[in-house]
Structure 1
Amino acid sequence: MASKSLPLSVASNNPGSSSKAAASSSKRPGSIPHDLAVEVREWHQFQTVLRKHEVAWRDRYSFLLSRGYRLRFRYEPGWSPSWLNLDVDPAYCDDSIDMVLPMVLDAERISDGATVCIKRIDPKEITAEVKIAKYLSSVELSRDSKNHCVTIWDHFKDPILPKVEFIVMRPLRRYADPEFGAVGEVVDFVTQLIEGMEFMHKHHVAHGDLTTQNIMMDARPILPSGWHFIAHNCTQDGVTPLSPLARIDYPVRYIIIDFDCSVQLSPGQPHLITNFGGRDGDPPEYKSRDPYDPFKIDVFTLGNVFFKDFYKVYEGLDFLAGLIDIMKTPNFRQRPDAEAAMKYWLNVRSHIDVGRARWRLQKRNETLGERVVYGAVAFAREGVHRMKHMLSGE
């Protein structure tokens, strides 16, 4: 079964205890008559064996356990699908869900029960990903509030393949999930990302792939009860729909991940290299065989994120136009560096009317009906916000 955002069963924390689960199956989500349960299993053809990319995780179950991390029941050696003996739709069983990406999996940290994200790094060619990620999350650098790079909690080598490594991190969410709702949230996002880019460059690291896919967020402020690692639209029980708070009231922290395309230069080393870059093929310098500045690639690609993910999508973000223009300057020699981009942005931000911060973000393709409905919801939300402040005396 492919990974998808489906409700998951919470009736049994140990899907292997089939008799206990079966006794309560009629009272839990997904419970269906036996004949229908059999038909569902046949119709959907849920995988009763691990997929090829899952086998590597199963083979390392005991090793990861020795390191203090327990994988989900599905990856225990000798796993047998819980739904085979239960009159339950397999979609409601925890162990019917595999993973989002073959190289990333959730686990329980045994010491405190916290959910962690483990990334398996198996590069086709040697990269400095782990070295750079560990450097940027070192104790000394982690004290800097401008450091928006992912923190590496643990790191260890694979016991079977010498080139494979594992890093352990906090579970993060895609930065636009849930969607942005107010103008001030965009202002905060832009500030944090330029700040993070400037921090990396200050420490001689060019990311190389500073694109949408590599920008995440620590969503705990807006999802204080957590979320399911796979069924990301549900709470940790895998069943209850999420009800996120507004990030304009509960600001989140944005995190830069994945340094497999990154390069770290020595102080004073010339900023001209070749064969550098990631997903974004728009930087003009890629069309030339001449060496180019990797740090200016970051400036361009981040400017492209602001353009494609915000300026093209929402109305009322005219204040981003000038910033985007300079960050996407075609000639990289004339393009500002991260420090100059930040100075430009801080000047722009200082002239944005504070009252606009809570304005609802309005998509360019919204229909009239959508605008009326969304506008009413935003108005009601703002009324509640103001009432809370009045009652609190603020």
Structure 2
Amino acid sequence: MTINEENYFEQVIGPLRQRPRRSDPDGLDESEEWWIGHFEYLKERGYMMRPRYRPGWQPSYIPGSFGSLYAEDAQRTPHPYIMDALRMSDSLIVALKLVKTSTGEDEITMLFSDDDHNSDPHNHCVRILEVLPVPGEDAEKILVMVWMRNVMDPRFRTIGEAIQFFKEMIESLQYMHRNNVAHRDCSLNNMAMEANSMFIRQYHPMAPKKRYDWNGRALHFSRTRRPPRYYLIDFGCSRMYDPSQPRPLEYSLKSGGYIPPEGLADMPCDPFATDVFFLGNLMRTSFLDGDPVMRQPGLSGFEFLRPLVIWLQMIPRNVLQWMKLHLGSPVSLESYGGGNYAHERFRKMSFFPRRFEQSIISSGRLQ
């Protein structure tokens, strides 16, 4: 529901740090200045930010020149509330995420990071390494996590690699639901992978194809040789429910640019069901059919998964079936992804997704 969605973000989440337009495109903005203002505090806690975010920073390039495209200290974080840093004790790259306590994101993330949950192999929720208070600000906290990559980079090379990603995301969502938590924004943007084992040398968090020392490309193994681990991230929209009470219906939020049928009809629905709908939609738009809105083509070789995707997108009518889904059930990745598919390579289809292209041809707009 659009109105409720807008109210939710305005009243509960809201912008943590504004990123205003600047006359100097290479200069520091307000959100970057905030992080620089906390440099000494973070250093005392054992975290070192990059040179750009240290007090007194002067650019190594001529502002406004092409040098800003290639300089390491010109690389800015795309999200004003997320900063990368090195943990000084072991040089691990971490993400520092500024969150509002009013969202409950810190509580839900810490729940899945405690000892009981952390040891469960089905738990693929992002882990918290440490929670830092923000000096002088009780309404905000800084969550410290391992820095992760976009799940699509480096690209998948075999169908089996993609199937492993699907398996871990299904396990993760089921694990959250078994613990009475709905993610509510289960899109590709809120999935990430811990891929340090894939890389020969550490990659740069803002330019992941380059090495951290800015000296050449970040070479890596395939996902098959060095499997990454996939995680659900960003619990700012998530909700925890009382298992002793009937689960309330919620107006769905738009996730990944999509909204379930109940949302389009302005009807509240089971938040667990919408999670599963979005998971099936992700598999459809990112792998099977492509996404005409993002002009992203589909991938050949995944048609065998269509029955599973259709089944997942019908889950809003039967959540109990979803909770019983396991890798050996009739409607599972194990059933569709074995045999010759596991190591088979795939390729991108035409620029337009198959169904989208067919609709254009049938309407006579493409000759």
Question: TM-score per shorter chain, which class?
Answer: 0.7 to 0.9
Q: Among residues 317, 324, 331, which one is paired with 1:340 in the alignment?
A: 324
CA distance 1:352–1:65, shift in 2 (3 Å): closer
Aligned residue identity for 1:364:
M
8 A Cα contact 1:208 1:262, kept in partner = yes
Q: Distance in 2 between matches of 1:187 and 1:148?
A: 15
Q: Distance in 1 between matches of 2:331 and 2:311?
A: 14
CA RMSD of aligned residues (A): 2.6
Unaligned regions of 5+ residues in structure 2, if any?
1-23, 290-297, 353-367
Q: Among residues 301, 315, 319, which one is paired with 2:278 in the alignment?
A: 301
2:84 alignment partner, SS class: strand
Q: Among residues 222, 235, 240, which one is paired with 2:216 in the alignment?
A: 240
1:361 alignment partner, SS class: coil
Aligned to 2:12: none
Q: Distance in 2 between matches of 1:296 and 1:189?
A: 20
Q: Among residues 75, 90, 106, which one is paired with 1:112 in the alignment?
A: 90
CA distance 1:204–1:240, shift in 2 (3 Å): same
Map 1:104-183 to 2 at 5 A: 104-122=82-100, 126-183=102-159
Aligned to 2:171: 195
Q: Distance in 1 between matches of 2:221 and 2:173?
A: 27
8 A Cα contact 1:327 1:341, kept in partner = no
Q: Among residues 25, 48, 51, which one is paired with 1:70 in the alignment?
A: 48
Q: Among residues 15, 29, 33, which one is paired with 1:51 in the alignment?
A: 29
The structure whose Rg is larger is: 1
Unaligned regions of 5+ residues in structure 1, if any?
1-44, 368-394
Q: Distance in 2 between matches of 1:101 and 1:222?
A: 25
Please state how far the C-alpha of 1:355 moved relative to its aligned partner.
2.5
Please state how far the C-alpha of 1:311 moved relative to its aligned partner.
1.0
Please state how far the C-alpha of 1:161 moved relative to its aligned partner.
2.8
CA distance 1:98–1:289, shift in 2 (3 Å): closer
Q: Among residues 245, 262, 276, which one is paired with 1:285 in the alignment?
A: 262
CA distance 1:57–1:354, shift in 2 (3 Å): same
User: Which stretch shifts more, 72-81 or 224-233?
Assistant: 72-81
8 A Cα contact 1:158 1:166, kept in partner = yes
Please state how far the C-alpha of 1:339 moved relative to its aligned partner.
2.2
Please state how far the C-alpha of 1:155 moved relative to its aligned partner.
0.5
Aligned to 1:102: 80
Please state how far the C-alpha of 1:226 moved relative to its aligned partner.
2.2
1:55 alignment partner, SS class: helix
Q: Among residues 270, 277, 290, which one is paired with 2:246 in the alignment?
A: 270
Q: Kindly tell me the number of residue pairs found equivalent between the two proteins.
A: 319
Please state how far the C-alpha of 1:107 moved relative to its aligned partner.
1.0
CA distance 1:292–1:84, shift in 2 (3 Å): closer
TM-score (norm: length of structure 2): 0.80
Map 1:346-385 to 2 at 5 A: 347-350=332-335, 352-365=337-350
Please state how far the C-alpha of 1:76 moved relative to its aligned partner.
1.9
Q: Distance in 1 between matches of 2:338 and 2:47?
A: 48
Please state how far the C-alpha of 1:94 moved relative to its aligned partner.
2.8
Please state how far the C-alpha of 1:166 moved relative to its aligned partner.
0.4
CA distance 1:215–1:337, shift in 2 (3 Å): farther
Map 1:21-32 to 2 at 5 A: none
Q: Distance in 1 between matches of 2:219 and 2:119?
A: 32
Q: Among residues 269, 288, 300, which one is paired with 1:315 in the alignment?
A: 300
8 A Cα contact 2:200 2:218, kept in partner = no
Q: State the Cα deviation string for residues 360-384 of structure 1 (Å, max 9, x = none).
A: 11211279xxxxxxxxxxxxxxxxx
Aligned residue identity for 2:317:
R
8 A Cα contact 1:182 1:357, kept in partner = yes
Q: Percent identity?
A: 30
8 A Cα contact 2:160 2:337, kept in partner = no
8 A Cα contact 2:184 2:274, kept in partner = yes
2:86 alignment partner, SS class: strand
